[in-house]
Structure 1
Amino acid sequence: MNNQEKGTGNFLTGILVGSIVGAATALLVAPKSGKELRGDLSEQVDNLKEKSGEWKETVMEKSSDLTSTAMEKTNQIRQTAMDKGANLAETVKDKADQFRNTAKTAVDEVAENAKKGADDLQDTVHKTVDLTADNTKKAVDQAQSAASQADDEVTQKAEQLADQVNNSMNP
């Protein structure tokens, strides 16, 4: 997870906590009866739970989209690399056939070197694609974990606030 993603998570957590504190303060300072105040607090807690659920869904959708995009890009890169490797091997073979009659020994040596280079290139591309796929999966897993943690924190803080409000209303 990069610094920007951590900052965004911290910012969203700050907004959530600030919203909770602000709503609770506004409700506690408002000149209302205990029954009205408890009703308002209950409504605010319900709204907060609903919003946290919506945020969780948004994070999960974005994580799913990121996973799909990463897999699609990985498959595209892999296919392109395989096509290019196959095209390179085919080109080398055609050139070797053209010059075979005049310089058999030299052409065989060049073809062998080119095939080895194509194999090395293909191996390198496969390793790069696999590494990219692994890194992308790790990033998606981290994003999903962070989303789950944020949801757990929001739920816990909302429950704590509800407990505090209930405790202050029922001494």
Structure 2
Amino acid sequence: MSDRDNDFGAFLTGFFVGGLVGAAVALLMAPNSGEETRTIIKDRSIELKDLAVERAEAARDRAVAAAEQARARAEELAEQTRARLDETSSTVRHRAEELASTTKEKVSELQEKGRVVLEEQKDRLSHAIEAGKQAADKKRVELTGETDGGEAASA
């Protein structure tokens, strides 16, 4: 876009310089009287001014169109970005919910396994204590000859 502006600016500058040079050459080469020459210069300057105004308006119109096109493209890109952001946000939210659910399930499973293991260990410990008591009673009977009632065993 700036290359176009630079090209147009160079063209406009060349146009004016060419017009001035042409006017100067016309003055020097013209076999006209002073009044005729002034009229020609006046007419030519009006033509050049009108042409310059037309070119400036055309350049302004192109600049306005380019600005409108750039604005429309920026809005389109902004909308695409919003849509992608919404989609990504939704995907991340869904994935986070899945992970939270999976984590809760795993925690529940581990808690249940922990309860089962704890019950098993509790049962084993109870059996071990009971077996220890029975072994102690048996050993006491063997050593002292007493029974549960505290009486000595008859030999």
After TM superposition, the score normalised by the length of structure 2 is 0.57
Query: How many Å separate the matches in 1 of 2:30 and 2:14?
Result: 24
Which residue identity does 1:35 align to in structure 2?
E
Give 1:149's aligned residue: none
Query: How many Å separate the matches in 1 of 2:40 and 2:19?
Result: 15
Which residue identity does 2:88 align to in structure 1?
L
Which residue identity does 1:20 align to in structure 2?
L
Query: How many Å separate the matches in 1 of 2:7 and 2:102?
Result: 67
Give 2:89's aligned residue: 89
Give 1:51's aligned residue: 51
Which residue identity does 2:23 align to in structure 1?
A
Q: Percent identity?
A: 30
**Greater RCO, CA 8 A, separation 6+:** 1
Give 1:167's aligned residue: none
Unaligned runs of 5+ in 1: 106-171
After TM superposition, the score normalised by the length of structure 1 is 0.52
Q: What's the offset of the Cα at 1:101?
A: 2.9
Q: What's the offset of the Cα at 1:42?
A: 1.1
Q: What's the offset of the Cα at 1:27?
A: 4.0
Deviations 1:82-138 (A, max 9, x none): 110001111222233444432359xxxxxxxxxxxxxxxxxxxxxxxxxxxxxxxxx
Unaligned runs of 5+ in 2: 106-155
Give 1:128's aligned residue: none
Query: How many Å separate the matches in 2 of 1:61 and 1:4?
Result: 13
Query: How many Å separate the matches in 2 of 1:93 and 1:35?
Result: 86
Number of positions where the alignment pairs a residue of Structure 1 with one of Structure 2: 106
> Is 2:77 the partner of 1:77?
yes
Deviations 1:4-34 (A, max 9, x none): 6445423420222112211331244121222
Query: How many Å separate the matches in 2 of 1:99 and 1:45?
Result: 79
Give 2:60's aligned residue: 60
Which structure has the larger Rg? 2
Query: How many Å separate the matches in 1 of 2:34 and 2:98?
Result: 95
Give 1:154's aligned residue: none
Query: How many Å separate the matches in 2 of 1:55 and 1:28?
Result: 29
Which residue identity does 1:42 align to in structure 2?
K
Q: Is the 8 A contact 1:27 1:37 kept in 2?
A: yes
Give 1:10's aligned residue: 10
Which residue identity does 2:79 align to in structure 1?
Q
Q: What's the offset of the Cα at 1:48?
A: 0.8
Query: Structure 1 residues 79, 49: CA separation in 2 closer, same or farther (over 3 Å shift)?
Result: same
